[in-house]
C-alpha cells in the first residue's frame, strides 16, 4: 500500500526529480543514499507528492517524494544522478535490497512507477492507490496495476586465455565498457536469454552458463540477473546497432568500467579477484 504520509519527527526521505536525487548542498557523496530530513524538504519545496512505501521486511516505511520535472531547485539544494548514490556500496552490500542501497532503489522505483501509472491502461480513467497493497487501482473498471519489474540478464563471458569480454554500448560515455546484457523475451528462459544476447550483440556462442547474483535496477524498472558463461565459438563481431565495440580484456589491462554499486561491477570485481566463474 502507498499512502500519504503523516508528517513528523526527524524522519528522512528520498526526493526525486526525473532520474535525479535531490539533496541538500554539503551532503557528502558517501551519504547520498541516506536521504534528506523530511522536515527540510517540506520547508523548501511546494510542488511535491509525498508517499509512504512499505519496506521489504518489517514495519518500516520508506518515504519517497516526487518533485515536478520543471520545478526549480531552491537555494541550498542540488541534483545528483540516482546512480551516484550507489557508488559507496561494494560487494554484497550493493545488491542487498534491505540495506541503504536497496532503500534508495526501492523508493526510486516506486516513485517512477506511480508517475507512469496515473491512468488505467484499459479504460483511461485516472487511477487511485489501492487501499490494502502496493498497487494502483482503476475506480471505474477495477483494473489493478502493480509495480513493473522486467527481468534482464547481464553476463560475464570469459575465454580460455583468462580474459573477459567487455563491450561499449552506444549509450555509454566515451571509453566505458561493460558486460553483455539484455531483457528476457516472453516465453524465454534466463539461460536462453544469455545465449541469445551473446549471439545477437557480439556474434558468439557461449556455454557453461551459471547464475551468480541479482539486483533491483530501476533504470528503468529492471531486475538484473547476473550470470557467468564461457566462450564456446564464433568470431567476435559487434552488432553495430547497440554495441559499437567489443573486446577481450585481461585483468591487468581493463578499460573504464561501471562504477561500484551495480551488479555489473560486482561480477567484474569478482572475476578480477580470481573467483572461479563456474
Q: What is the pLDDT of residue 8?
A: 45
Q: What is the pLDDT of residue 10?
A: 61
- Please name the residue that has the C-alpha cell 553495430: 240
Q: What is the pLDDT along the chain (278 residues), one digit of tens a residue?
A: 334 444 444 699 999 999 999 999 999 999 999 999 999 999 999 989 999 999 988 778 999 999 999 999 999 999 999 999 999 999 999 898 888 899 999 999 999 999 999 999 999 999 999 998 999 999 999 999 999 999 999 999 999 999 999 999 999 999 999 999 999 999 999 999 999 999 999 999 999 999 999 999 999 999 999 999 999 999 999 999 999 999 999 999 999 999 999 999 999 999 999 875 54
Q: What is the pLDDT of residue 59?
A: 79
Predicted TM-score (pTM) of the model is 0.90
Q: In this structure, are 89 and 197 located in the same domain?
A: no
The three grid cell numbers given for residue 163, joined into one nine-digit string: 580474459
Q: In this structure, are 78 and 168 located in the same domain?
A: no
DSSP secondary structure string, 68-86? -TTPPPPTTEEEEEGGGGG
Q: In this structure, are 68 and 171 located in the same domain?
A: no
Q: In this structure, are 71 and 177 located in the same domain?
A: no
Q: In this structure, are 162 and 248 located in the same domain?
A: yes
Q: What is the pLDDT of residue 132?
A: 86
CA-based torsion, 202, 207, 211, 213: positive or negative: negative
- Rounded to the nearest 5 degrees, what angle is found at the Cα of 62, between the Cα atoms of 59 and 66? 150
Q: What is the pLDDT of residue 5?
A: 44
Examine residue 27 and state whether it is found in any structural domain, yes or no: yes
* Cis before 220? omega within 30: yes
Last residue of a domain, one of 65, 92, 116: 116
Q: In this structure, are 177 and 68 located in the same domain?
A: no
Last residue of a domain, one of 96, 116, 136: 116
Q: What is the pLDDT of residue 57?
A: 82
Q: In this structure, are 46 and 96 located in the same domain?
A: yes
Give the integer Cα–Cα distance in Å for 70 and 84: 22
Q: What is the pLDDT of residue 277?
A: 53
Examine residue 140 and state whether it is found in any structural domain, yes or no: no
Examine residue 268 and state whether it is found in any structural domain, yes or no: yes
Q: What is the pLDDT of residue 97?
A: 84
Domain housing 238? 150-272
Q: In this structure, are 225 and 167 located in the same domain?
A: yes
Examine residue 192 and state whether it is found in any structural domain, yes or no: yes
Give the integer Cα–Cα distance in Å for 88 and 8: 29
Last residue of a domain, one of 66, 100, 116: 116
Q: In this structure, are 176 and 256 located in the same domain?
A: yes
Q: In this structure, are 156 and 216 located in the same domain?
A: yes
Q: What is the pLDDT of residue 167?
A: 98
Number of domains in the chain: 2
Examine residue 6 and state whether it is found in any structural domain, yes or no: no
Minimal CA–CA distance to 261: which of 106, 93, 81, 33? 93
Give the integer Cα–Cα distance in Å for 226 and 56: 21
3-state helix, strand, coil in the chain (%, to 5): 20, 35, 45
DSSP 270: H
Compute CA distances 125 → 97, 137, 140, 145, 147, whole Å.
Answer: 33, 10, 7, 13, 18
Q: In this structure, are 247 and 154 located in the same domain?
A: yes
Examine residue 163 and state whether it is found in any structural domain, yes or no: yes
Give the integer Cα–Cα distance in Å for 155 and 190: 11
Q: In this structure, are 91 and 162 located in the same domain?
A: no
Q: What is the pLDDT of residue 157?
A: 98
Examine residue 3 and state whether it is found in any structural domain, yes or no: no
Q: What is the pLDDT of residue 98?
A: 83
SS3 105: helix
Q: What is the CATH number of the domain that holds 217?
A: 3.90.79.10
Give the integer Cα–Cα distance in Å for 110 and 98: 15
Examine residue 144 and state whether it is found in any structural domain, yes or no: no
Amino acid at each position: 500500500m502507498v499512502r500519504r504520509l503523516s508528517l513528523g519527527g526527524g524522519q528522512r526521505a528520498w526526493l526525486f526529480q526525473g532520474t535525479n536525487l535531490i539533496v541538500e548542498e554539503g551532503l557528502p557523496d558517501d551519504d547520498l543514499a541516506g536521504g534528506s530530513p523530511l522536515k527540510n524538504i517540506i520547508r523548501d519545496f511546494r510542488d511535491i507528492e509525498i508517499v509512504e512505501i512499505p519496506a521489504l521486511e518489517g514495519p518500516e516505511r520508506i518515504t519517497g517524494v516526487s518533485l515536478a520535472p520543471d520545478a526549480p531547485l531552491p537555494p541550498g539544494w542540488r541534483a545528483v544522478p540516482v546512480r551516484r548514490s550507489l557508488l559507496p556500496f561494494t560487494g554484497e552490500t550493493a545488491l542487498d535490497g534491505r540495506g541503504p542501497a536497496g532503500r534508495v532503489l526501492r523508493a526510486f522505483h516506486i516513485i517512477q512507477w506511480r508517475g507512469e501509472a496515473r491512468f488505467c491502461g484499459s479504460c483511461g480513467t485516472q487511477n487511485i492507490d489501492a487501499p490494502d497493497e502496493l498497487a494502483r487501482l482503476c475506480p471505474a473498471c477495477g483494473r489493478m496495476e502493480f509495480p513493473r519489474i522486467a527481468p534482464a540478464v547481464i553476463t560475464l563471458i570469459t575465454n580460455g586465455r583468462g580474459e573477459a569480454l567487455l563491450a561499449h554500448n552506444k549509450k555509454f560515455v566515451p571509453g566505458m565498457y561493460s558486460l553483455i546484457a539484455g531483457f528476457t523475451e516472453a516465453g524465454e528462459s534466463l539461460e536462453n536469454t544469455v545465449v541469445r544476447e551473446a549471439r545477437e550483440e557480439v556474434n558468439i556462442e557461449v556455454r557453461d552458463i551459471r547464475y551468480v547474483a541479482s539486483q533491483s535496477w530501476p533504470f528503468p524498472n529492471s531486475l538484473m540477473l547476473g550470470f557467468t558463461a564461457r566462450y564456446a565459438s564464433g568470431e567476435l563481431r559487434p552488432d553495430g546497432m547497440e554495441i559499437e565495440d567489443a573486446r577481450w580484456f585481461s585483468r591487468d589491462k581493463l578499460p573504464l568500467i561501471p562504477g561500484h554499486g551495480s551488479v555489473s561491477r560486482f561480477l567484474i570485481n569478482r572475476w578480477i579477484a580470481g573467483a572461479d566463474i563456474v
